[in-house]
Structure formats: C-alpha cells, structure tokens
Amino acid sequence: MLGPAPAKVNLALIVGPQRADGKHEVVTVFQRVDLCDRITVEPADETTIGGFPEDTIVRHALGSLDATHGWRVTIEKHVPLAAGLGGGSSDAATALRLANDQLDAPLPAERLHELAARLGADVPFFLRDGPQLGAGDGTTLEPLDLPQDFAVLLLLPKGAQKQSTAEVYAHFDRRGGESGFDERAAALRSALAGVRRPRDLASLPPNDLASSPLAAELLAHGAFRADVSGGGPTLYGLFNRTADAKRAARALGHFGRTWITVPAWYG
C-alpha cells in the first residue's frame, strides 16, 4: 500500500513548565500542508527500509504493531529533515496506518493513537484529519474548524542547523519561558475562537520555542502571518493567494530553500 506522508506547520506553539514525565506542557495548532513524503508498506518475511537508510522511527512504529511478519517499506523523501515540519513523525504515522490496514485484525483508532504517542508528540496528529489543537504533551488532540483557503510559503534558511529537541527545551527552561503559561494558553484559545477567515490567523500568538528575523521579511513581502514552525529552523508565511506566495518566494529565495504549498486536510 502506498500513501502520502504530509508535513505540518505549527500555526501557534505555547509552551509551559516541565511535567513529571520530563516533557513540557504545550498548547499548539497543528496544520497539515501538501508537501509530502511517499511511503509504501507491504508485508514481508522481515522488515526492511528502502530509500531512506537513516530511518529509525518508521522501523520502531512497525515494530510496535507486533505483527507475525515483517514489512517491506520504501520511503521517498521530499520533506526536509530536522526542519520543524514533522517529516519523521508523519512517516511513522503513515507507515503505522498503512500496515495496520493490512493486518487480519486491524487495531482500533484508540490503540493506534496510544502506539503513536509512544513514538513522539507529533505522531498522533498525523493519524487525524484536519487541523488539530494539541494539548498536554501534544498528544491530546481536539479538532479545529479553521479556514483552509490560503497559500503557504515555507522557507528553510541557508546553513540553518536544527538543535536537538532536548537542547531547544533546555534553552527555553533556562530563560524561564514557562512563565505565564496559563494566560498565554488561554489567549491562544480565545484567538482561535475568533478565526473566521484566513487573515484572522494573524491574531494567533507567536511561537514560544523559536523565532527568526526572517519572519519580518515574509511579512514585508505580503504574508499576513509568518513564524517559525515547531523548534525550527523552517519558517512559514501565510498568503491569501498562491501568486502572492510565489512572488515572495522569488524575492526571498536568496535567504534559503523555499516551497509553495497549501493546507492539506488528511494524509
């Protein structure tokens, strides 16, 4: 079976204190975009991963199914690695869903969610349709009714190196970033309640974990909202029209690699 594994952007990311399990409280808006890896999963005697030998998370995902056989997997990568776009998480969720669909007794959605949550905080989102509000450690999901008629410009700055997730959160803790979490989380929920059209997404608060001066460049070139996705380093700019996003991509291409895409409702 073949399926797309789409990237995501965090249209907002509010981060709070560290939890007893070592993770952090978050409230985040997950939005799928139509920049996709392609995953093929078929039953086999043993599990092999082709096309992307660096993979570990897809192998772990398939191992969690405890099938009586292995899987032959091919990963065709298009989502940039370690970029804040959830490529690995999406690959894992897609492989998990495709493999589960081929079991004699497929696991129910609730059990798949549990397995996905063990793999990473972003993974369960990719098993759901549409934008979602992630809470708790990010795996508690609530569907959102958000406009989907806008264009997205992704910008991966030249020479940008993603810090590890642990490093990003350690820096957040050192600067006392958790202060005022409850108020900031409430402000996000309040802003979401007022979103009716794409431009209303500009009212969402900025990313707590990462920022970039290039967000101002995206806004100056016509984006109605711009920010860093997840822990970075990729930025996104939201535009009313694809033509506007293309003009901005041409103007900003010297800053790094760009992609023009649109929201995607499902994988």
Task: Supply the residues annotated as catalytic.
Answer: 8, 122
- Cα–Cα distances (Å) from 39 to 82, 233, 247, in that order, read 18, 24, 32
Residue 4: strand pairing partners: 38
Q: Which of 227, 250, 224 is nearest to 238 (CA)?
A: 224
Residue 112: strand pairing partners: none
The total number of residues shown for the chain amounts to: 267
Between β-strands 256-261 and 24-44, what pairing exists: parallel, antiparallel or unpaired? unpaired
Pairwise CA distance, residues 51 & 58, whole Å? 12
Cα–chain center distance at 115? 18
